[in-house]
Amino acid sequence: MKSPAADPAGAADTSGAPAAPLLSVRDLSVTFHAHAEVRAVNGISYDLGAGEHVGLVGESGSGKSAGALALVRLVPDYAEIEGQVMLDGVDLARLTERELRDVRGRRVGIVYQDPFSSLNPVLTIEKQLTEVVRRHSRVRAGKARAEAARLLESVGVPNAAERISDYPHQYSGGMRQRAVIAMAVSPRPALLIADEPTTALDVTVQAQILELLQDLTSEHGTTMLLITHDLAVVAGITRRVMVMYAGRIVEASSTEDVFTRPAHPYTVALHRSLPRIDERRERLMTIEGQPPDPSRPIAGCPFAPRCSARIDRCTMEDPPLMTVPTARRAAAEGWDRRMIREQDGGALFPGPAAPQLTACWNPPPPAEGSPDE
Amino acid sequence: MRWFILRRLSLMPFVLLGMTFITFVVSQLIPIDPAAAYLGGRGAVHTDEAEQNILNALNARWGWDRPILERYWIYLTNLTKGDLGEASNTLRPVTTDLAKVVPPTIELVLAAMLAALAIGIPLGVFAASRKGRFWDEGFKVVSTLAISVPVFWLAIVGFTIFYGRLGWAAGPGQLDIFTRAPPAVTRMVVLDSIIARRWDALWDALHHLAYPALLLGTVIGFYFARVVRSEMVEALESDYVRTARGKGLKRSLVLYRHGLRNAIIPMITLSGLAFGSLLTSVIVIEHVVGWPGLGEYAFRAATRLDLNGIAGVVMVISLAYVMVNLAVDLLYTVADPRVREGMGT
Amino acid sequence: MTRRTKRLEEAASRRNEESGRMGAAIANLRPRTFLEAYGVVVIVVMVAAIAAAPLLASDPLEQDLSVALTGPSADHWMGTDNLGRDIWSRILNGGRVSLVIGLFVLIAAGTVGVVYGAISGYLGGIVDAVMMRVVDIFLSFPAIMLALLISAALGPTIRNVILAIAAAWWPVYARLIRGQVIVVKEREYVTASRALGAGPMRNLFQTVLPNSLGVMKTIFVLDIGYAILAGSTLSFLGLGVSLPTPEWGVMIREALQFPNSWWLILSPGLALMLFVSAINFAGGIVTRSVHEIPGR
C-alpha cells in the first residue's frame, strides 16, 4: 500500500489519495497571540480525497482542533493563520470573511466536541436547525421548519416532531450531539469536520454517534476529518490516520498500518498507553514527561525529550515525516536502526512484521529522491 | 407562574412594615430635631421661652415629643387606614404629596430607561464586536468619562447649552407655563394629554420630558453599554457562537440572535440593581430642571428632616424596588428557558 | 519542637507566601496600556498640583472686586468669580477638600466596614446573623436619603460630609469583607495558625484579614473617585461643605447664579471628571495586580 502522506517540503505527494483531492492543506500554521505567542499548529500539510474518511489523532494540546477549525477560520481573533487551504480548487485562506460564510456550513460542516456548550441555550432546537436550513437553501419559513423536523428525525432523535421545539437543556448529551450533527449535515457539505465528537459523551452513546456519522457521510459521499485523542475511535471508521504531536503531523499512514506497524516512536508510545483486550497487561504505560511548551520555539524533534529512541541528531533537527513504507524499507535494508526497548518483554504488536523499530533517521533525506519507492 | 407573582406580591405588606421600622430606627440613630429643623435651625440653640413654646407646639402637633415606640405604634395604626401622616415640609398629608410627585417621576424614569436601553445595548454590542480595535478603545474612553462625570454638572452644562444657548430643550417643569395642562387622570402629563386628546399639550410634554430623560438615559446607558460589552465579549467567545459562525450565519444574526440573547440575561439583573441607585441621579436631575417629582420631594423631606415625608418616600422607593425586582424575575424567565423550567406553574 | 508543630509552622508560613505575592504584585503595577499610563500621569500631576497649591496660586479667599466675574486672562487664567477670587486657586484648594473627603470616606467606611464585616464573618453563628441584619437595615435604606438626612441633621461641614457618606457606604464593605473572611477562615494556614495557639483576635487580624482584602483593594481604589463625586454631589445640593471653603461641588453650585460666566462652571466640573476618570482609567492596573498571580 502506498502512503498518501505529503512530504514536509510541501510538494504534494498524492500517490495514496485520489488524483484530485477535495482538500489540500499546505504548510498550515496557527499562532495564538495571547499573553505569550503560542504556535499551536506548526506547518502541517495533507490531502483529503473526496469521500475519504481520515482520522486526525493526538493528545490534547497537540493542535489538532485548532488545525482543523482553522481550515474555515473558526478560531479566535487573536489567532493568526498561515498557509494554503485548497478546497475544490479555492484557497479558503484567501477568502474574505463574507465569502468564507458561504463555505462554512454549506461546503464544510462541523461537529463540535462539547454538545453541552456548542448549542445556544436560549434558542429552541428548531430555531437553531431552521436557521441553518434557511441560510443555505433559500426556502420559505414553513418549508424550512418541515425540513428541520425531517433532519432531526434522520439523525435518530426519537419523537423528533415534538422534541424539536425543546431547548437544548431538555436534551440528553447524545441527543444534543445528534442535533449538532443534523445542523452540520443539513446543507450536504462536501467536508465534515468532526472535532472529538464523542469525547464529552457517555461510553454507551459514543458508538451510536460514531455509527451515525459513518452512515450519514457514507450515504452522501461526504469527506470526513475525524479528530480524536483516542486511537480506538478511528479504528473502524477511517481509512487513513494522521498523528499529530506538538503542532506537527508526525505520522500519516493507513489505519491498518498505524495499528499494526506504527512507525513513529510517538505512535508506538500512544499504543502502549491504550488498553487492549487481546493482551494481559498489568498496567498501562504512560508516556514519560510533558508535551513541549508551545510558546517556546522547539529545536529538533518536538517528541525528542520523551522519546526512548532518541539520538543526538533528534535534538538538533526535525526528522522527516514518517510513513510506514519507508520505515519498513529501512528495516528491510538494515539501516542503522534504533530499537525501542521492550520493557515487558513480549511483542507489542501482533502480526508478522511486528516492528519495534522507529528509525526516524533511516530513510534518506527527501532531497536524495522520493522516500516512498 | 401566577402563583409565583401572587406569592411575591403578598410579601409587599411585610416589606412596607420593614421599611417603616427601618425609617424609625434610622431616625433614632441620627440626632434629629425635626421641630428645630422646621424653624430652619439645627440644634437646641433656642433658649428663650417664646421659641421654646413654638417648639413645644410643633412637637405636639407631629407627636415628636412622644417616646419612639408610641410614635411607631401610632404611625402603624394610621398606616392601616392608609394614612401616612402629615408632612412637615408641605403641611399636607404625605399621601396627597406622594400622589402628586410620584407620577412625574415614573414618567421620567420610564422614558430614561427606554433611552438607556436604546443607547446602551447597540453601543455595547458594537464595542464588543470590535473588541480591541479602534472603536472599542474609543468606547472605553467615552464610557469611562461617562461614568466619571458628575451628573449634576453635566445636567447643568447640558441645560445651559441646549436650553440656554441653542433653545432646543424645553424650559423647566413638565409643561410650558402658557400650555393649559390636560385634566389630571394619571398625573403623567404625556399620558393625560393622550387621554384628553390634547395634541398640543402632548407635544409640549414630550418636549419637556426629552432633555431630562435623554440625559439620565445617556448616563445610565453608558453603564449598561459597559456591561453589555463585557457580557457580549464573553458570549462571542463561547462555543455556541462558534457553532453559529460555523453554520455560515450572517454577522448580524450571530451578534444579535446568538450573542445578545445570552448577553442580555445578566443585563436584566443589572437594570434591577441599577434601579436602586437611580435615586441620586433622579434627585439631581429633577433639582436642575425643576421637575416636580419624587426626587425633588425626597430632597426637601430629607433636608428639612420631615420624618413622615421621609418615611413616605422610602416606602414608595422600596415598593418600586419590589415591583422592579418582580418584573426582573419575570423578564428573566422569558429570557432564559433554563430558569422557566425551575419555576413550575 | 515536635514534628507536628513543625508541619503546622510550615502550613502557617504558606500564608506568608501568599502575602509574599505582594512584591510581585507591585511589579505588576506597571501600566500596560496608554490609557492606564494616562490615568497614572493625571493622578500624579493633579495630586502634586493640589499638594503644592500654595506655591502655584494665590490665596483662594482673597477678594478683588475690581476684577469680579472676568473671564480667563493672563492674571487669572481660569477667570474670577463674583467676588474677584481666582478660580485657578480655588480649583487647586478645592481639590484638596475633595481629596480629603474621598480619602477619609474610604478610611472611615473602609475601617468600620472591614472590622465589622470581618468580626461578623469570623465569629459566625448567631452573632453573624444579628450583625448582618443590621447591615441589611442600612443597605435597604436608600443611601442618598441616609446621606442627605445625616448631613442635614449635623450641619454642613467637611467632617459631616465624610460621616454622611461613610455611614451610607460602610455596610457595603462589611458585606463584601464578610464573604471573603468566611472563605479564608476555612483555609489550611488559618487552621494551622490557630493550632499553633494564636488567639482568635490575633488570628483574625494577622492571618485571616490580610488574606481577605485582595478583591477589596480594587474596590477601594475605584471608590475613592466615587467618594469624591458623592461629596461634591452633597455640596452641590447645599448639604456638603459650606461657603467660603472652596470645593468643586460648591463651586458648581455657586456658578448657577451666574449663568453667563461659563468659566465658573466649566473648570470645577472638568476637574472632577478629569480626576475621577483618571482613577477609573488607572483602575485596571490595580485589578490586574490583585487578580493575576504573577510569575506563572
Encode chain A in three state secondary structure: CCCCCCCCCCCCCCCCCCCCCCEEEEEEEEEEECCCEEEEEEEEEEEECCCCEEEEECCCCCCHHHHHHHHHCCCCCCEEEEEEEEECCEEHHHCCHHHHHHHECCCEEEECCCCCCCCCCCCCHHHHHHHHHHHHCCCCHHHHHHHHHHHHHHCCCCCHHHHCCCCHHHCCHHHHHHHHHHHHHCCCCCEEEEECCCCCCCHHHHHHHHHHHHHHHHHHCCEEEEEECCHHHHHCCCCEEEEEECCEEEEEEEHHHHHHCCCCHHHHHHHHCCCCCCCCCCCCCCCCCCCCCCCCCCCCCCCHHHCCCCCHHHHCCCCCCECHHHHHHHHHHCCCCCECCCCCCCCCCCCCCCCCECCCCCCCCHHHCCCCC
Give me the pLDDT at residue C295, please: 34
The number of domains in chain A is 2
Q: Is the pLDDT of residue C109 over 80?
A: yes
Segment C86-108 mean pLDDT: 89
pLDDT value, residue C27: 57
Nearest to B301, CA basis, from B313, B291, B292: B313
Q: Kindly state whether residue C9 falls inside one of the protein's structural domains.
A: no
pLDDT over 90 (residue B324)? no
Type of residue numbered A178: R
pLDDT over 70 at A306, yes or no: yes
pLDDT at residue A359, rounded to an integer: 53
Tell whether B143 and B177 lie within a shared domain.
yes
pLDDT at residue number A284? 58
Residue B12 neighbours by CB distance under 10 Å = 14
Q: Which residues of B make CB contacts under 8 Å with A?
A: 131-132, 237-250, 253, 257-258, 261-262, 265, 335-338, 341
CB-based contact (8 Å) between B13 and chain C? no
Query: Is A335 in CB contact (< 8 Å) with chain B?
Result: no
Tell whether C144 is within 8 A of chain B (Cβ).
Answer: yes
Q: Is C258 part of a structural domain of the chain?
A: yes
**Contact assessment for residue A168 and residue A125, using Cβ atoms and an 8 Å cutoff:** yes
Characterize the bridge pairing of strands A240-245 and A23-33.
Answer: unpaired
Does B165 lie in the same domain as B104?
A: yes
Residue A203 and residue A161 share a domain: no
First to last CA, chain C: 35
Q: Which residues of B touch C146 (CB under 8 A)?
A: 26
Q: Are residues B104 and B71 in the same domain?
A: no
Chain B CB contacts of A121 below 8 Å:
240, 262, 336-338
Positive or negative, the CA dihedral C221, C223, C226, C231 is negative
Spatial contact of C56 and C64, defined as CB atoms under 8 Å apart: no
Alpha-helical regions (H) of chain C: 3-27, 34-51, 53-56, 87-123, 125-140, 143-154, 158-184, 188-195, 200-202, 209-212, 214-236, 248-255, 262-291
Domain end point (choices B14, B48, B80): B80
Split into its structural domains, chain C has a count of 1
Domain that holds residue B64: 2-80
pLDDT of residue A314 exceeding 80: no
B121 shares a domain with B26: no
Q: Is A134 on the interface with B (CB under 8 A)?
A: no
In a domain, C26, yes or no: no
Chain A residues with CB-CB distance to B257 below 8 A: 123, 131
Cβ atoms of A210 and A237 within 8 Å: the answer is yes
**Region of poorest pLDDT, from A259-268, A283-292, C134-143:** A283-292
Percent of chain A with pLDDT over 70: 75
How long, in residues, is chain A? 373
Q: What band does B276 get if pLDDT is binned at 50, 70 and 90?
A: low
C61 pLDDT higher than 80: no
Shortest Cα distance from B245 to chain A (angstroms)?
7
Task: Please report, as a single letter, which amino acid is at residue A241.
Answer: V
Would you state the pLDDT for residue A14?
37
CA distance A246 to A248: 6
DSSP β-bridge partners for residue A47: A24
Cell of C225: 473617585
CATH of the domain at C244: 1.10.3720.10
pLDDT per position as a tens digit, A155-169: 988 888 899 999 999
Would residue B311 count as lying in a domain?
Answer: yes
C-alpha cell recorded at residue A258: 498505524
User: What is the structure's pLDDT at A335?
Assistant: 37
Put simply, the chain C residues between 45 and 84 with a CB less than 8 A from any chain B CB are: none
Report yes or no on C231 lying in a domain. Answer: yes
Is A324 in the same domain as A233?
A: yes
If you average pLDDT over residues C39-66, what whole number do you get? 81
Write out pLDDT tens, residues B280-304. 889 899 988 889 999 999 988 888 8
Could you give the CA distance from residue B76 to residue B53 in angstroms, rounded to a whole number?
Answer: 28
Of A9-18, B49-58, C41-50, C189-198, give the lowest mean pLDDT range: A9-18
Same domain, A173 and A29: no
Q: Which residues sit opposite A28 in a β-bridge? A: A44
State which of B53, B80, B107 marks the end of a domain: B80
How many whole angstroms separate alpha carbon A118 and alpha carbon A128?
11
pLDDT recorded at residue B254: 92
Look up the ipTM and state it.
Answer: 0.83
Please indicate, yes or no, if residue B66 is contained in any of the structural domains.
Answer: yes
Residue C244: cis peptide before it, omega within 30 degrees of 0: yes
pLDDT band for B133, please (50, 70, 90 cuts): confident
Dihedral (CA of A112, A113, A117, A119) sign:
positive
Average pLDDT of chain C is 80
C-alpha B13/C-alpha B26 separation (Å) is: 20
What's the grid cell of residue A308?
Answer: 526512548
C-alpha closest to that of A319 among A338, A343, A296: A338
Amino acid at B9: L
- Top-ranked range on mean pLDDT: pick from A213-222, A314-323, C134-143: A213-222
CA angle B269, B271, B272 (to 5 degrees): 65
B149 touches chain C (CB under 8 A): yes
In a domain, A372, yes or no: no
* Residues whose CB is less than 8 angstroms from the CB of residue A207 and which lie 6 or more positions away in sequence, other chains included: none
Question: Is the CB of residue A219 less than 8 Å from the CB of residue A79?
Answer: no
Residues of chain A positioned with their CB less than 8 A from the CB of B252:
none
Q: Is residue C275 part of a domain?
A: yes
> Which of B247, B250, B252 to mutate to probe the A interface, most A CBs <10 Å?
B247
B15 with B116, same domain: the answer is: no
Q: Which chains touch A (3 or more CB pairs under 8 A)?
A: B
Distance to chain B for C281, nearest Cα, Å: 7
The residue range of the domain holding A266 is 8-107+189-276+284-358
Question: For the segment A20-50, what is each residue's pLDDT rounded down to a tens digit?
Answer: 789 999 889 999 887 778 888 888 888 888 8
**pLDDT > 70? residue A244:** yes
Asked whether residue A33 falls in the same domain as residue A155, the answer is no
Q: Assess if residue C42 is contained within a domain.
A: no
Q: For residues B329 and B273, is the Cβ–Cβ distance under 8 A?
A: no
Q: Cα B54 from chain centroid?
A: 37
Q: Are residues A27 and A153 in the same domain?
A: no
Q: Which has the closest alpha carbon to B74: B89, B86, B59, B63?
A: B63
In terms of domains, do A142 and A261 share one? no
Across chain A, which distance is largest between two alpha carbons, in Å?
A: 69
Write down the pLDDT at residue A3. Answer: 41
Whether B65 and B109 share a structural domain: no
* pLDDT at residue B125, as a whole number: 93
Q: Are residues B112 and B236 in the same domain?
A: yes
Q: Which of A204-208, A209-213, A301-305 has the lowest mean pLDDT?
A: A301-305
Would you call B59 helix, strand, or coil by DSSP? Answer: helix
* Each residue's pLDDT tens digit, C247-289: 898 888 888 888 777 888 888 999 999 999 999 998 878 777 6
Q: Taking CA atoms, what residue in A is nearest to B335?
A: A122
Residues A236 and A252: their CA atoms lie apart, in Å, by 17
- Is residue A134 located within the same domain as residue A144? yes
- What's the mean per-residue pLDDT of chain B? 85
Is the CB of residue A304 less than 8 Å away from at least one CB of chain B? no
CB contact under 8 A, B279 and C144: yes
Give burial (CB, 10 Å; 0-12/13-18/19+) of B7: exposed
List, for residues B163-176, the tens digit of each pLDDT value.
888 888 888 888 88
Query: Of the segments B12-21, B30-39, B164-173, which one has the largest average pLDDT value?
Result: B164-173
Cell matching residue C27: 511589579
Confidence band, pLDDT 50/70/90 cuts, at residue A317: confident
Q: How many domains does chain B have?
A: 2
Choice among A145-154, A243-252, B266-275, C64-73 with the minimum mean pLDDT: C64-73
Residue C226 is part of which domain span? 81-292
- Say if CB A85 and CB A25 are below 8 A apart: yes
pLDDT at residue A313 tops 60: yes
Give the model confidence (pLDDT) of B171-190 as tens digits.
888 888 888 888 888 888 88
Mutual angle of helices B307-335 and B261-289, in 10-degree steps: 160
State whether residue B176 is helix, strand or coil: coil
Reply yes or no on whether the pLDDT at A1 is more than 60: no
Supply the pLDDT for residue B45.
53
C234 touches chain B (CB under 8 A): no
pLDDT tops 70 at residue A281: no
In a domain, A168, yes or no: yes
Residues of A within 8 A of B336 (CB-CB) are 121-122
pLDDT at A292: 76
Please compute the mean of the pLDDT values over residues B106-115 and round it to a whole number.
92
pLDDT of residue A326: 46
pLDDT-based confidence at A338, cuts 50/70/90? very low
Which residue has better confidence, B230 or C238? B230
B-chain residues within 8 Å CB-CB of C148? 298-299, 302-303
Q: Clarify whether residues A94 and A228 are in a common domain.
A: yes
pLDDT band for A203, please (50, 70, 90 cuts): confident
CATH number assigned to the domain comprising residue B132: 1.10.3720.10
- Specify whether A221 is located in the same domain as A315: yes
Nearest-CA distance B231 → chain A (Å) = 15
The average pLDDT across C56-80 equals: 72
Candidate from C137, C143, C238 with C-beta closest to B25: C137
Do B110 and B198 lie in a common domain?
yes
Chain A residues touching B245 at Cβ < 8 A: 74, 104
Residue B149 is predicted with a pLDDT of 92
DSSP secondary structure string for all residues of B1-28: -HHHHHHHHHTHHHHHHHHHHHHHHHHH
Mean of pLDDT values over A174-198:
92
Share of chain B above pLDDT 70, in %: 96
Question: Nearest CB to A167: which of B240, B257, B337?
Answer: B337
Residue C50 within a domain: no
DSSP C260: T
A26/A131 same-domain check: no
Walk across the sheet containing A53-57 and list its strands.
A108-111, A191-195, A223-228, A53-57, A240-245, A248-254
Q: In B, which residues are within 8 Å of A122 by CB distance?
A: 261-262, 265, 335-337
Tell whether C274 is covered by a domain: yes
Please answer yes or no on whether B239 and A132 come within 8 Å at the CB atom: no
Please state, rounded to an integer, the average pLDDT across all residues of chain A.
76
Contact C273 B150 (CB under 8 A): yes
